[in-house]
Structure formats: structure tokens, C-alpha cells
């Protein structure tokens, strides 16, 4: 253990090969060190920083750099161990079952910073960057502009944890499990939990109390797609979320307690190259605006082996808008399911109904069958008002299978100026259900569907 209140610097060209090291600018008492309990580091807000510009190696051990400001510009390598850059309370079994904590006095905009500009690697181990969560976003910052890896070499896997008030990634995180938590999370780089070879994708979790901004790539791909879980108040998405797989698509679940907005550059992918598509679920308590691509397709026809059904896309919010969005749940065999604003006749208990749903003219929703099989299901629903000017396609397979089913409706008002193709090459054509209390239909565009003639058919019990 190395403690120096004046600062700790590992200079360029330096190299340290140890079983483990803890370096800090904060004081630790003899009693804390010897009593077998947690390590408690204490200091003031002006304590100097720990800076690494060399190479720190601890095979199977822990490299812990603890100070109000911790920066890595060199290399930290702790295979089967842990690398910790901490400006807050952290815990890891590598600290002999102990946790490390620090407290400081006074206020400073630099009182909690953990930053990586170099390479941190802990294959089959853990990498933790942590900073105190304070009241303003300049305090408690975690920044990565370098490379962080905790790769799976055998089957034990690795883990990366970044937590602070503001967490920013501008380069690369790579591990089987990755977790980011803070008030604000910004990703302008690559966050990867991809499986290699025959392995499935890993797991990525992001949780922000204020907002998540993604302009980079978040991926958990593999033989089978992995899992991506996002929880936030608000979100802006102009990047990519990828949980695709070769044999099966994975799972993308985004939940916002406020608003979520996806630009035209945004993409969510839970498709499969030669198997069943996965699941994409995006919910917001206030507003959900989607203008990009959501793909949960199952296997391209030329690649499909056995079943290759389309997956499931579920979207809802108080106000849901699909503005030029492209939603695909096609299957090489059967088409999948797309639900926007609610389920069939608003009765699906697993998906809350939107109050208002709007689909613009440039939006397309497809749940087509490929070579053989039935078309899938597409539902557009709202409690108050649905306006639909997009295009639906849920066609049957080329060599056999019926067309799919589609509903565009509302518990109250519906305006329909769109198009729906529920035809089949070698099977039965299905009907489009328009089932509101009040309806306006513009039939100027020919469509391959039949309208079920209902003037007022509110769902039972509503």
C-alpha cells in the first residue's frame, strides 16, 4: 500500500509487477489498516491526485488507485484480478473481502474524477471506475477516452463497472458484462459485450437518473444475441443498439420515466442471421418519438435453418410518434409481431396503452413471411386518438402460408390515410381491422386488404 498526500505519480517508462497494489493520496489510520474491517481513506478536497503514465501489472491481484482525482494515461493490467480507479466507496473481493471508502472535507468541482486515457485490462476479472455522485454534473465524473477490457478467456468472464454523477465513454469498453450508472450517461464510443466464436452475446446495463445520450454503438452480439437493458428519465438516441445473433436474436429493453427520442440515424437490432428474431421493447411514461430503424427479423431466407420466425417489437408511451421509422419483424418462415401503442384491441395486459399514437406517411411496419409461413401481426392502438398514414406489410410466404393480421384502431378517434398489404402468394388474404368509436378513412391509395365493416365496435368491457 502506497499513501502520499502530496500525490502519487507513476511516470512514463515505469513498470511495476506486483501481486497487488493500492495507491492513494488520502490517509488511512493504523487501526483501519489492522482491524480487519473496511479500509477508510480520509482527506480534504484539495488532496492531490493519483496519476499513472507507466505500466502496472498485477496477475490475479488488484490495482487500486484511490483519490479525489484518479487518472490513467498508461497501462493497467490485472488478469483474473481487478483494476479500480475510485473516488468513492467501492467493494471487491480482491481487497481481502474488504471495501475501500474515502471521505473528504470541503467543496471542489474536482473532488471526484476517475478518468482513463490509456489501457485498462482485467481479463476474467473486473474493472471499476467510480466517482462520488454529487449535486452538480461537474462533480463525480467518470470519463473514458481510452480502452477498457475485461474479456472472457475461458468461461469465467469479466465485468466492467462505471459509476458516477456523469459517466462518459468516448472510446471502447469490452467485456462479457458491462454496467454504467449515473445521473448522466453519454456514449460516443463503443460499448461491446460481444461473444466470440461459439459464445453468445453478453449483458449490458445502463441506468441514469437524469438522461442517457447515445451517439455511439452499444452491442451484445454473438452466436445468440445478448441482453441490453436501459433505464433512464430521458434519452436521446442517434446511435446503435445491437443484440443480433447468428442463431437467435437477443433482447433490447429501453424504459424511460420521461421522454425518449430516436433520430433517423438511430438503429436497434435484435435480428438473427439464421434463426428466430429477438425482442425490442421501448416504453416511455411521457413521450416516445422514433425516426430510425428497429429490426427484430428472423433469418434471411437464404440463410435460415429450420424455424426462422420474426421477433417481437413493442412500443408504448403516453404520446407515441413514429415519424419516418422503419420497423421490421419479418421471418424467413413466419412473420413476427409489432405492437405500437398497445396490443390487439387494446387488451394486452403486458403492454400499457398509449393515449395518443401518430404514424407518419414515411413510416413502414413489416411482419412478412419469407419462403413459407404465415404473415405476422401488426397493431397500432391508442386510447384517445390514432392517426395513421404509414404502410403495413404482413404478407404470407412465397411458397405457402396466409397473410398476416393487422389492426389500426383507437378506443375513441381514428384517422386512416395509410396502406396495408396482408396478401398471400399461395394462401388466404387477411383483413385489416379498423375498430374505433369514430373513424375517418381516406381510400385514395389502393391496398391489398379488406376492411372489416364495423361502425362502432368497442372492445368488450370498455
pLDDT class of 197 with cuts at 50, 70, 90 = confident
Reference 252, options 264, 234, 265, 237; nearest CA is 237
pLDDT at residue number 111: 56
Condensed to tens digits (0 to 9), the pLDDT of residues 208-233 reads 999 999 999 999 999 999 999 999 99
pLDDT at residue number 238: 98
Least-confidence region, from 97-111, 277-291, 376-390, 428-442: 97-111
pLDDT at residue number 59: 94
Cell of 214: 447515445
Condensed to tens digits (0 to 9), the pLDDT of residues 46-77 reads 558 999 999 999 999 999 998 888 999 999 99
| The Cα angle at residue 92 between residues 88 and 98, in degrees rounded to 5 | 85
Residue 377's alpha-carbon distances to 188, 297, 413, 432, in angstroms, are 35, 13, 22, 11
Q: What percent of the chain has pLDDT over 70?
A: 81
DSSP H/E element including 31: helix 30-34
- Residues 348-370, mean pLDDT to the nearest whole number: 97
- Any idea which residue has 474493472 for its cell? 127
Residue 282 has pLDDT above 90, yes or no: yes
pLDDT at residue number 34: 57
Separation CA 277–CA 303 (nearest Å): 13
Q: For residues 448 and 424, is the Cβ–Cβ distance under 8 A?
A: no
Residue 139 has pLDDT above 70, yes or no: no
pLDDT at residue number 457: 41
CA 328, 329, 332, 333 dihedral sign is negative
Q: Phi and psi (nearest 5°) for 295?
A: -130, 115
Alpha carbon 211 to chain centroid distance?
13
Q: For residues 220 and 203, is the Cβ–Cβ distance under 8 A?
A: yes
- Share the mean pLDDT of the chain: 87
Q: In terms of pLDDT, which residue wins out, 110 or 81?
A: 81
Question: Per this entry, what is the length of the chain?
Answer: 462
Q: For residues 323 and 340, is the Cβ–Cβ distance under 8 A?
A: no
Cell of 336: 413476427
Q: Residues with Cβ < 8 Å from 97, sequence gap 6 or more?
A: none
- Residues 336-352, mean pLDDT to the nearest whole number: 97
Decide: residue 389, CB within 10 A, 0-12 exposed, 13-18 middle, 19+ buried: middle
Residue 439 has pLDDT above 90, yes or no: no
Separation CA 313–CA 338 (nearest Å): 5
Residue 133 has pLDDT above 50, yes or no: no
Amino acid at each position: 500500500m502506497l499513501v502520499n498526500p502530496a500525490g502519487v505519480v507513476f511516470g512514463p517508462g515505469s513498470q511495476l509487477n506486483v501481486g497487488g497494489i493500492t495507491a492513494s493520496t488520502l490517509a488511512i489510520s493504523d487501526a483501519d489498516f489492522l482491524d480487519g474491517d473496511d479500509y477508510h481513506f480520509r482527506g480534504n478536497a484539495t488532496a492531490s491526485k493519483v496519476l499513472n503514465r507507466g505500466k502496472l501489472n498485477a496477475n490475479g491481484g488488484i490495482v487500486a488507485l484511490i483519490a479525489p482525482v484518479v487518472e490513467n494515461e498508461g497501462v493497467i493490467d490485472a488478469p483474473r484480478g481487478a483494476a479500480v480507479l475510485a473516488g468513492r466507496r467501492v467493494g471487491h473481493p480482491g481487497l481481502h473481502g474488504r471495501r475501500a471508502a474515502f471521505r473528504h472535507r470541503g467543496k471542489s468541482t474536482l473532488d471526484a474524477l476517475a478518468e482513463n486515457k490509456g489501457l485498462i485490462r482485467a481479463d476474467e476479472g473486473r474493472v471499476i471506475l467510480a466517482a462520488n455522485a454529487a449535486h452538480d454534473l461537474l462533480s463525480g465524473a467518470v470519463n473514458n477516452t481510452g480502452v477498457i477490457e475485461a474479456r472472457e478467456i475461458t468461461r469465467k468472464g469479466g465485468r466492467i463497472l462505471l459509476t458516477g454523477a456523469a459517466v462518459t465513454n468516448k472510446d471502447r469498453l469490452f467485456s462479457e458484462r458491462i454496467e454504467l450508472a449515473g445521473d448522466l450517461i453519454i456514449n460516443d464510443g463503443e460499448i461491446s459485450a460481444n461473444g466470440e466464436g461459439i459464445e453468445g452475446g453478453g449483458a449490458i446495463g445502463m441506468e441514469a437518473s437524469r438522461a442517457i445520450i447515445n451517439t455511439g454503438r452499444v452491442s451484445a452480439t454473438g452466436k445468440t444475441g445478448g441482453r441490453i437493458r436501459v433505464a433512464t428519465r430521458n434519452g436521446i438516441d442517434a446511435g446503435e443498439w445491437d443484440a443480433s445473433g447468428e442463431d437467435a436474436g437477443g433482447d433490447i429493453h429501453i424504459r424511460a420515466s420521461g421522454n425518449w427520442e430516436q433520430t433517423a440515424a438511430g438503429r436497434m437490432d435484435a435480428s438473427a442471421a439464421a434463426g428466430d428474431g429477438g425482442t425490442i421493447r421501448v416504453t416511455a411514461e411521457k413521450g416516445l418519438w422514433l425516426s430510425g430503424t428497429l429490426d427484430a427479423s428472423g433469418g434471411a431466407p437464404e440463410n435460415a435453418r429450420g424455424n426462422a420466425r420474426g421477433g417481437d417489437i413493442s412500443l408504448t408511451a403516453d404520446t407515441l410518434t413514429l415519424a419516418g421509422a422503419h420497423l421490421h419483424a419479418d421471418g424467413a418462415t413466419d412473420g413476427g409481431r409489432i405492437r405500437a401503442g398497445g396490443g390487439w384491441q387494446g387488451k394486452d395486459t403486458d403492454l400499457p396503452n398509449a393515449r395518443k399514437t401518430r404514424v407518419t406517411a414515411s413510416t413502414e411496419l413489416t411482419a412478412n413471411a419469407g419462403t413459407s409461413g404465415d404473415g405476422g401481426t401488426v397493431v397500432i392502438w391508442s386510447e384517445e386518438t390514432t392517426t395513421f398514414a404509414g404502410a403495413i406489410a404482413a404478407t404470407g410466404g412465397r411458397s405457402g402460408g396466409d397473410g398476416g393480421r393487422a389492426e389500426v384502431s383507437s378506443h375513441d378517434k381514428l384517422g386512416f390515410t395509410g396502406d396495408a398489404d396482408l396478401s398471400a402468394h399461395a394462401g388466404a388474404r387477411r383483413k385489416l381491422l379498423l375498430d374505433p368509436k369514430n373513424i375517418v378513412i381516406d381510400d385514395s391509395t389502393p391496398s391489398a386488404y379488406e376492411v372489416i365493416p364495423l361502425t362502432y365496435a368497442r372492445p368488450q368491457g370498455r
